[in-house]
Amino acid sequence: MIGEISSLSNALFNALTNTLGGKSTQLTSWRNTLRASASVAMVVITIAIFFNLETLTLRVVATGIVAGLVGGLGLPLIYQAFAVGSVSFVSPVVVLVQTSNLILFAVIVENEKLSWAFPLAALLGVTGLFACSRRSSTQASASLKVFALAAVAGCCFTVFSITLTTIEPDEIIAALFGGRIGILLISFIFPPVKESKDSGKKSSKEWRKYALLSGGCEIFGNLSFILAITNLDLSKVGIFVASAPALATLIGIKLLKQKPSLINWLGIAATSAALAIIAII
């Protein structure tokens, strides 16, 4: 039961991270969102590492920093994609790109064989993305620019995940600590933008609220993923990950004021089915 709850929590936290980051970026610069979210996530993981000090080694932390530097480059992209694009399009793109990259890694590097069901999953995924790219009822964007932002972000997140697979399960908290250092460094490379006096205190409080919540959800998503993979088979975890696009879309309806059309929902169902097939077979 712990594995199932953790897996679903991971999907929910990931959906919240992206939509909250997108909402914050709508109200301010992605640079401001990145600094605020990275800072609060660093605070949370620093508290967690105090209970795992024995796992802190230079190798583990350095590996985490490398993963964080690459994965951190994807955060500004995903914030912008969710800020200007259709959530029912962006979320499936990110998840499918990550999954496709992981499959390529497994086949090319680890010499695994493709499942017989992969062509079916690929067809469902492509068909689903096409349906998701259709204009929503609120005319949210699904442009080539939005696709590029989401796809490159997905590639960055894939490198983050693959890099952390070199870490032993009992060292993962320390690796995440290093990862958050890397992401925080990215936020210093792209410093925050000063707000104009016309923006008002209310607007300032609004974006900070969403950015801080995004950072908190991100680190809790990482921690719930650790619980998931240590208590449940990875294939079963993947089934719950397949729910992320639908969860992000449901959150986007309320938070980003978007209303997907029927064909968008059918596309989400198709992409989720593709992800579930890959996880099961």
CB 103: neighbour CB atoms within 10 A?
17
195 found inside a domain: no
User: Is residue 37 included in any domain, yes or no?
Assistant: yes
Query: pLDDT (tens digit, 0 to 9) for every residue of the chain, 281 residues total?
Result: 777 888 888 889 989 999 999 999 999 999 999 999 999 999 999 998 998 888 889 999 999 999 999 999 999 999 999 999 888 899 999 989 988 888 888 778 878 777 777 788 889 989 999 998 887 766 666 789 999 999 999 999 999 888 887 888 788 899 999 999 999 999 999 888 776 555 555 566 789 999 999 999 999 988 887 788 777 766 566 677 778 888 898 998 888 888 888 999 999 999 988 888 877 76
Q: What is the pLDDT of residue 122?
A: 87
Confidence (pLDDT) at 242 = 76
Query: Backbone dihedral region of 257: left (phi > 0), alpha (psi from -120 to 50 degrees) or beta?
Result: left
Model-level pTM?
A: 0.89
Q: Quick one: pLDDT at residue 137? A: 63
Of all residues in the chain, the percent with pLDDT exceeding 70 is 92
In this predicted structure, what is the pLDDT of residue 230?
75
- Tokens representing 137 are 């009822």
Structural domain count of the chain: 1
Residue partners of 145: CB distance under 8 A and separation at least 6: none
Q: Does 197 map to a domain?
A: no
Q: Which long-range contacts (CB under 8 A, 24 or more apart) does 43-46 make?
A: 44/215, 44/216, 44/219, 44/220, 45/173, 45/176, 45/177, 45/180, 45/219, 46/177, 46/180
Domain extent for 168: 2-189+202-280
Residue 194 maps to a domain? no
Asked whether the beta carbons of 72 and 187 are under 8 A apart, the reply is yes
DSSP calls for 238-261: HHHHTTHHHHHHHHHHHHS-----
d(CA 267, CA 130): 7
Give the pLDDT confidence of 63-88 residue by residue, as tens digits: 999 999 999 999 999 999 999 988 88
Tokens 């983050």 sit on residue: 160
**pLDDT value, residue 244:** 84
Alpha carbon distance 169, 109 (integer Å): 21
Residue in the structure block whose two tokens are 């929902």: 265
Judge whether 215 lies within some domain. Answer: yes
Q: Please tell me the distance from the alpha carbon of residue 228 to that of residue 58, in angstroms, as a whole number.
A: 26
57: left (phi over 0), alpha (psi -120 to 50) or beta: beta
Tally the residues of the chain: 281
Rounded Cα distance between 30 and 37, Å, is 10
Give the whole-angstrom CA distance, residue 92 versus residue 163.
Answer: 23
Residue 178 located in a structural domain: yes
CB neighbour list of residue 213: distance below 8 Å, 6 or more residues apart: 16, 20
Look at phi and psi of residue 258 and say left if phi exceeds 0, alpha if psi is from -120 to 50, else beta: beta
Tell me the two tokens of residue 231. 């208590």
Instruction: Give the pLDDT of residue 212.
Output: 94
Residue 216 lies in a domain: yes
Question: Which residue has 């029927």 as its token pair?
Answer: 262
